[in-house]
Amino acid sequence: MAELGPSPLVSGDELPVAEAQARIAGRLQPVAGIERVAVAAAVGRVLAADVVSPIDVPAHDNSAMDGYAFRGADLPAEGRARLAAVEGTVFAGARFDTPVPPGRCVRIMTGAVMPPGLDTVVPIELAKVDAGSVDFAATAVRTGENRRKRGEDLAQGQPALAAGRVLRPADLGLIASLGMAEVAVRRRLKVALFSTGDEVVAPGQPLPEGCIYDSNRFGLIGALQRLGVEVLDLGLVRDDPAALSATIDRAIAEADAVVTSGGVSMGDADYTRDLLAARGEVAFWKVAMRPGRPFAFGPLHGAGGKSAFLFALPGNPVAALVTFYVFVRDGLLKLAGATPHPVPSLTARSAVAIRKRPGRSEYQRGIVERAADGQWSVRLTGAQGAGILRSLTVANALVVLGPQQGSVAEGDAVEVWLFDGLA
């Protein structure tokens, strides 16, 4: 495909995506509040301090198998081992006080503490038992096999999880394995959200001529909930200075951040700019991206020393969600105290040619699937207009084309952000 030249539309006053992201990150500091929550309620929360193991995990050497425990020193160099078993079985969670002298073995269950001096377990299925003696090939096990060492998962005093981590299911298991019933996390962010526009109508209402339903608020509520923040839904605000003013003041008073869509992001109405200018240092940017050019960000200050960060997103539904993923996600994670972690991405082979001029970043809606050769392949969902919300529901990924990227030929590698992963 012929290369398209740089876009004549990209003017010097457009901000590269990376620059806009850096400016946002530069303004935000993590909220200070910390609370202790039950481990069972901690998934998705941001760890406030390192978790340091107070104990060895496991606390004792124990058997990894059902079998017979013995001393590796009793293994012959070749041939078969034949060890007399002492009376009884070592069960998990139970004391076993019978001494096991050299040259002897004992029946042991998975997870049971290794009796003193014993270091090796032969699995039950590799052993023959007759007349109280256990017989197995000398090559069946090596010294130390089938035994879990004390502290092998985690030694006492060792950092188990670092502050700033967004807790995952396995993390909760690990914290519980240390005997902790609670964990210190950053307080949950509260994020206010509202839509603007005289043409926008709440779902459930009749739709007057020329109007559209408010879809942005619901897409954004879902995205905010997945980020683990508390959402303060302030509904729909008319294109009216008094209404906008009152809603913004409420958001500043009650929330850490405010996410809006439509109108306010354009700063098209003078009163919007004036109203925001009176409350803080909101910058209106034209970001060099598609979809999602108009975007505003900055701190708003209100009565009583309260403040909140405004993320004003474009009104077009696809642009609203794409700008959420590109700017708001990372911004809110930083505000929440989370260590930065990029959106998980993978490289896929484009099944189609994609026309693009260098200059802007583009986020196209894609369908990623495994090709016959086992490699990831991505195709586009079709119409990519910024208002075509269905393109996002049909897609399972965003195709991310960086500013330097020109047209993509069929078969070229492209970066994709998957919408879903392991929960």
Residues found near Mg ion in the complex (CB under 5 A): 197, 262-263, 315
Q: Which stretch in 20-28, 31-39, 172-180, 312-320 sits in contact with ligand AMP by CB under 6 A?
A: 312-320
Among residue numbers 175 through 234, which ones bind ligand AMP (CB under 6 A)?
195, 197, 199-200, 212, 214-217
Using the minimum distance from each CB to Mg ion, give the nearer residue, 70 or 284: 284
Q: Which does 280 bind (CB under 5 to 8 A by kind): Mg ion, ligand AMP, none?
A: none
263 is a contact residue toward ligand AMP (CB under 6 A): yes
Using the minimum distance from each CB to Mg ion, give the nearer residue, 263 or 294: 263
Tell me the one-letter amino acid at 138: A
Using the minimum distance from each CB to ligand AMP, give the nearer residue, 117 or 222: 222
Q: Record the tokens describing residue 316, joined without a space.
A: 């077009």
Tell me the one-letter amino acid at 234: L
Omega cis (within 30) before 291: yes
At its nearest, how many Å lie between Mg ion and the CB of residue 214?
A: 11
Give the CA radius of gyration of the chain. 30
Tell me the one-letter amino acid at 8: P
Q: Which does 214 bind (CB under 5 to 8 A by kind): ligand AMP, Mg ion, none?
A: ligand AMP
Q: What are phi and psi of 220, to 5 degrees?
A: -75, -35
Among 53, 63, 146, 265, binds ligand AMP (CB under 6 A): 265
Contacts with ligand AMP by CB under 6 A: the residue count is 18
Apex CA 88: angle with CA 86 and CA 91, to 5°? 125
At its nearest, how many Å lie between Mg ion and the CB of residue 297?
A: 18
272 is a contact residue toward ligand AMP (CB under 6 A): no
At its nearest, how many Å lie between ligand AMP and the CB of residue 194?
A: 9
Q: What are phi and psi of 257, to 5 degrees?
A: -145, 155
At its nearest, how many Å lie between Mg ion and the CB of residue 31?
A: 31
Tell me the one-letter amino acid at 201: V
At its nearest, how many Å lie between ligand AMP and the CB of residue 192?
A: 15
CB atoms within 10 A of CB 204: 6
Q: Which stretch in 40-48, 84-92, 104-112, 314-322 sits in contact with ligand AMP by CB under 6 A?
A: 314-322
Tell me the one-letter amino acid at 93: G
316 is a contact residue toward ligand AMP (CB under 6 A): yes
At its nearest, how many Å lie between ligand AMP and the CB of residue 355?
A: 24
Among residue numbers 94 through 153, which ones bind ligand AMP (CB under 6 A)?
none
How many CA atoms lie within 13 Å of 200's alpha carbon, on the beta-carbon side?
20
Using the minimum distance from each CB to ligand AMP, give the nearer residue, 185 or 259: 259
The pairing of strands 80-90 and 133-137 is antiparallel
How many whole angstroms separate alpha carbon 239 and alpha carbon 418?
Answer: 35
410 is a contact residue toward ligand AMP (CB under 6 A): no
At its nearest, how many Å lie between ligand AMP and the CB of residue 214?
A: 4
Q: Which stretch in 147-155, 273-281, 315-323, 407-415 sits in contact with ligand AMP by CB under 6 A?
A: 315-323
Using the minimum distance from each CB to ligand AMP, give the nearer residue, 280 or 292: 292
Q: In the bound complex, which residue of the shown chain has the CB atom lying closest to ligand AMP?
A: 315
Using the minimum distance from each CB to ligand AMP, give the nearer residue, 282 or 416: 282
Using the minimum distance from each CB to ligand AMP, give the nearer residue, 35 or 268: 268
At its nearest, how many Å lie between ligand AMP and the CB of residue 348?
A: 30
At its nearest, how many Å lie between Mg ion and the CB of residue 211?
A: 12
8 A C-beta contact, residue 122 and residue 134? yes
Using the minimum distance from each CB to Mg ion, give the nearer residue, 146 or 196: 196
Using the minimum distance from each CB to Mg ion, give the nearer residue, 48 or 319: 319
Q: Which of 145, 159, 230, 157 is nearest to 193 (CA)?
A: 230
At its nearest, how many Å lie between ligand AMP and the CB of residue 327?
A: 16
Among 164, 292, 314, 406, binds ligand AMP (CB under 6 A): 314
Binding footprint of ligand AMP on the chain (CB under 6 A): 195, 197, 199-200, 212, 214-217, 261-263, 265-266, 314-317
